[in-house]
Each structure stands twice: as structure tokens, then as C-alpha cells.
Amino acid sequence: MGLLIKDKQVVVPGDILADDLGFIPGFGTYRNNHNLVCSRLGLVNIEGKVVKVIPLSGKYLPRRNDIVVARVFDILMAGWRVDINSPYSAVLSSKETPEFIERNEDLSKHFDLDDYLVCKVTNVTSQNLVDVSCRDQGLRKLRGGRIIHVNTHKVPRIIGKKGSMVSMIKQATGCRIIVGQNGLVWVDGEPDKENVAVNAIRKIENESHMPGLTDRMKVYLEEITGVKISLLNEGDYNGLQ
């Protein structure tokens, strides 16, 4: 009776998580008579009486205020259509650019096809129409560097608490890194340092489940680059710089 699973256990759709009414179904679960049943593949998270499932796979679904790395794939009358690595594309209006755009100006002078941008999701409708904006500090076109794809659900681990994980990689490699919530990561720096940063990100992705990840990454990065990393300067991280 009661809970049938442990916290942080892997569950698959159809698994019965609890069999009485003492628990409240959260994300990724539903109620079937007395049973609380799983509807997403993921990890169980129990917070008091709420049981939810943290997904381990699936596409990125845009949420308001997410910072994403996007690719321009079409130019519209008054803006751009961008691919945000999600089932739905987003629209960047020409009013939402860092600099003012005159009427009838050629939009491709600002952002051309296949340019990559960092932008922020400003609105998502019920039909999943997405608006993005480039009018905020640090939002811009990405020049140089490289883009890598990571699992969307591992992005919080790559960023770390208050950006501790990325700032470690930045310190060690001297690269500029932007991690989009949509699983696109921009890395720019010395070519060999870029490789180190990419390998570090892949390592985080693969080992995100194991305890002591931050410490292990610190040792790993110091060993490879020989740079002493101080974990002290955890600033207010806004996903950029």
C-alpha cells in the first residue's frame, strides 16, 4: 500500500507509482481509479505528497524566458523564422533586434539564413506558436565558434548551480560558451581549447547521473589544461557571457 517506488527510481509509462489516494499526481503522472500511474519515461521525484516524473528523453518544448540558441531558416516580411531545435519553429520580429531596423530595409543584412542567434523565448501560445526576442543584454548573433547538440534534459547539469559548471569550463579553457535551454551549445575559443571544452561537455552529459560531478569535472579540467580553477566566483549567472 502507499508508495510502490523509491525516490529517483527509473519508471516507464504504465508503472503504478502509488496505490492509494494519499498522493497527488504531478508532471508525467495520472490517476487511474486509486492508482497513481506513470505516463513518461523518467525519474520519480517525490516532494511531500506530490509525485512527479522528471523526463529523461523527449524533444525540447519551449517555455517562456528560456535562453535558446536558434538558427535562422527563413526571412519573413517583418522578421525571421528560426529553428529552435523543437517541433515548433519560432518567429523573431524585426522590432525585437538589438539595433533599430528601418522600414523596407533588407532584413538579411542583419540576420541572414543559417546565422545562429542567442535569443530569449518571450511568448508561447497554447498552439505552441513561439516568439523570441534579441532585445536584451547579451542576446545577439553568434559569430565564429562552433555549435554542438546535447540532450535537452541534461542542460541544467551542464550549466550547474548558478552556472558553476560552465564557468569552470570557461575558466579552464578560456572559451566563450553559451548553453541554450534547447540543447544547442555555442563554444568559441582557441581551436584546441574548444575541443577540450566540447569533450568536457560530453563528459558531463554522459556522467550527469553520478554523484560528485562538479568535483570530478574540476579535477578533469585541471588535469587537461593545467589551469587552477577557483570555484569561488559564482556570480549571478544569466545564461550568457
Partner 1 sequence: MDYNKRLDGRDFDELRPMEAKAGVIKKADGSAYFRMGKTIAYAAVYGPREMFPKFMQDPKKGVLRCNYNMLPFSGAGGDRVKPGPSRRSKEISAVTEKALSAVVDLSDSPNAVVDVYIELPQTDAGSRCCGINAAAIALADAGIPMRDIVAAVAVGHAGNKIIVDLDYEEEHLPDYLEGLDEKDVADIPVAVIPSTGEISLLQMDGIVDKAVLFKALHKAREAAMKVSEVQRNALREKFVAHVSDDIDNNENGFEENQY
- Reference 198, options 188, 208, 207; nearest CA is 188
Q: Any residues with CB less than 8 A from the CB of 149 and at least 6 apart, and which?
A: 85, 183, 184, 185
- Reference 185, options 71, 90, 69; nearest CA is 69
Binding residues for partner 1, rule: CB under 8 A, are 6, 8-10, 12-16, 28, 30, 32, 35, 37, 39-43, 45, 54-59, 61, 65, 67, 87-89, 126-128, 156-157, 159-163, 181, 209-213, 237-239
Decide: 58 and 42 in contact? Cβ < 8 Å.
no
- Whose Cβ is closer to partner 1: residue 179's or residue 225's? 179
Least CB distance to partner 1 at residue 122 (A) = 15
Least CB distance to partner 1 at residue 101 (A) = 27
- Whose Cβ is closer to partner 1: residue 67's or residue 94's? 67
Least CB distance to partner 1 at residue 112 (A) = 22
Least CB distance to partner 1 at residue 114 (A) = 18
Least CB distance to partner 1 at residue 46 (A) = 13
- Whose Cβ is closer to partner 1: residue 47's or residue 192's? 47
Least CB distance to partner 1 at residue 204 (A) = 12
- Whose Cβ is closer to partner 1: residue 110's or residue 157's? 157
- Whose Cβ is closer to partner 1: residue 9's or residue 93's? 9
Dist CA 83 CA 78 (whole Å): 17
First to last CA, the chain: 51
Least CB distance to partner 1 at residue 119 (A) = 14
- Whose Cβ is closer to partner 1: residue 51's or residue 193's? 51
Residue type, 150: V
- Whose Cβ is closer to partner 1: residue 108's or residue 206's? 206
Cα 139 to Cα 49, 119, 134, distances in angstroms: 40, 5, 5
- Reference 183, options 204, 210, 162, 213; nearest CA is 204
